[in-house]
Structure 1
Amino acid sequence: MDRRKVDVVLATVLIIISLIILTSDQLVEGGAETDLGSMFLPRIVAVLIIIFSATIGIESLKKLLQRKEMEDKELIVTNGYGGIFIYIGIFIAYWLLVPVLGFLVTTPFVMFSVALLLGGRNWIPITAVSVITPILIFYGSSHFLRVFLPTWSL
């Protein structure tokens, strides 16, 4: 399977969904109300999704239009479902453990395991990102958005 085509299709779908989030005022019902409004965070995330999707999609589209040779990393190997079952297992374990162990304890382990499954081998950056990102998300959501993520309940 050609990753370039998958990138272009997924980028297009994500950009369309993000544009709907940006332009629709009917999504506001039931959101968490902050000083900036309940659609502030979804719209910020939608803008980031558009930027990142466009970056990936445009790069893949350029390579498709130029008919460049595919590299090994651009070919998606579809034989075998072992990796899919491992991902599903990780996320089911995360879903079950977050209420008990909390966001700050379980999220770094999940991020680290997914990074390893994706082929990451640089232990120091993977560990740093796996620890720092959940701390920033936890702090930002509780202080700026007033959304309190699960904490340790043992």
Structure 2
Amino acid sequence: MSNLFELAATVGQRLKDRGLMLATAESCTGGGVAQAITEIAGSSDWFECGFVTYSNESKIALLKVPEIVLARHGAVSQDTAVAMCKGALANSRATVALSTTGIAGPGGGVPGKPVGMVCFGWALGEQVQVEEKIFSGDRHSVREQSIEHALQGLLELLAKNA
């Protein structure tokens, strides 16, 4: 957990240095990214809010994810990760967002979307990046790896747009 703490602290410092505010939109990580972030003292300087939208209905209601995106691509898709990021930005004062949506297991996998598949989104203004990863291990391990990857991806986005 100390690596996660250090990663979250680095994210926070980079956001604070640039005067940016972060919002998270999480599904499979269940608020784990927001928890890691709020472990850092002073995170209110750079963390706006976190949306935990586990059901499709909450993704639609809170993040305004278009129903057609969910119907065509499913909740676990890069398209949904993009829509979640955009929704987090549109429904908060944040200038940066990240999203996680996936299948942590042990069940829920289907052909083409196995257990351990997680889609990530990172948004800075109008720019949105997405990535899909497949992690191994049990539910806890998939979620922990996802939280770490989400924060690492945010650092990479900030470095590219320094």
TM-score by length of structure 1 reads 0.28
Whichever of the two has the greater Rg, that structure is 1
Higher helix share: 1
Higher strand share: 2
Higher relative contact order (CA 8 A, sep 6+): 1
TM-score by length of structure 2 reads 0.27
